[in-house]
Amino acid sequence: MAAVTRLLRPNLRDKNKEFVSRSITSKLTREESEQEDEFRVLNLRSAQQRDVKKRQYKKADVPPPRTHKMATDQDWTAVWPAPRSFHPASVPLPIRQGYVEKGSAPSKFANAELMKIPNFLHLTPPAIKQQCEALKKFCNPWPKGLETAEKWKNYFPIDVVSTDYCQALPTIRNPEARRVELSIKLTDLKFDAHAKDKFLRLVGERYNRETGLVTIVADRCPLRKQNYDHAMYLLTACYHESFTTEPWEATKSEADMEYYHYDRNKSKESVEAILNWGKTSATENEKLKATNGFISSLEQLINEGENEYNLNKYKEEVIKMLNIGGKVK
């Protein structure tokens, strides 16, 4: 048996080697066929593949609104000291803004409508009072002698009116804000007869006969200060120009006059001749002259035109001047 096993051992070794080699080659051919079936990816840059772990986000703990911790006597100027956009957690009011087809308007939380519009929560009465108290030390005391509006007008007869606009637009400037309106009473200006007539002709429709105000509006310049200076210049120029007398004005005849004036008209001689009819010649001081009421009513009748009031007033003054008895009907 030992001899037989020695003879068969080399044959068994060769058969085992042949079987192992066949199994390896069959396995290789199987793997190559599988790789040929798969789609190969061309990798030009060999990158190290690392396992990336997904980042886990933790939700932060949102504290409750500030309004839940506010006291009833909270100092509002400390909460809202300056202009800012609306913040729902800081305003202890159940404000609603917006429109929905069904149901009530949206609440203040996550409401874009409340954040778009400007608010005046920084200008509450306590805040304004606090700011005024802080500005008092920079102010001068009110001047004596200007306690009433009548006293103001004596020292400041010119009224200047301008307008500021608050609007929700990309720009805070409004083109109408440059407009300046300047007004003054005609009686506050000192004129003689010639200067007053010329001034009224220069200002034209800017003078209101019912109120007695001269109003000048300036809006040609881009800035309000420029329009104010322009309006003051127009008023000053018209006032000083009214006192100038041109050489050709001395050569004007009665037909060239712009309005009726009793003293420079021939009707003065006619009226005095009627009043002194049948009297002997006397000096100028002894002659009868027309009354002031008759002169004013006659000038008003001719300059303003005939109407019921002017005619009745002229009739009354004529009867008084001629001393005609009887009641006026």
Q: What is the pLDDT of residues 198-240, one digit of tens each?
A: 899 899 999 998 899 999 999 999 999 999 999 999 999 999 9
Residue with tokens 């109408």: 176
Burial class for 178, CB neighbours closer than 10 Å (0-12, 13-18, 19+): buried
Task: Tell me the pLDDT tens digit for each residue of 299-319.
Answer: 888 888 888 888 888 888 888
Q: What is the pLDDT of residue 18?
A: 54
d(CA 325, CA 323): 6
Give the Cα separation of 159 and 286 in Å (integer): 49
Alpha-carbon gap, residue 215 to 234, rounded angstroms: 11
- pTM (2 decimals)? 0.53
Residue-level pLDDT at 151: 86
Q: What is the mean pLDDT of residues 111-130?
A: 90
Domain spans in the chain, listed from the N-terminal domain onward? 74-139, 149-251, 259-322
* Alpha helical stretches, state H, 159-223: 193-203
Tens-digit pLDDT profile for residues 65-80? 888 888 888 888 999 9
Give the residue, 229 or 41, on which the prediction is more confident.
229
pLDDT of residue 145: 84
Domain 149-251: CATH class, spelled out: alpha beta
- Of 117, 112, 76, 116, nearest in space to 93 by CA: 76
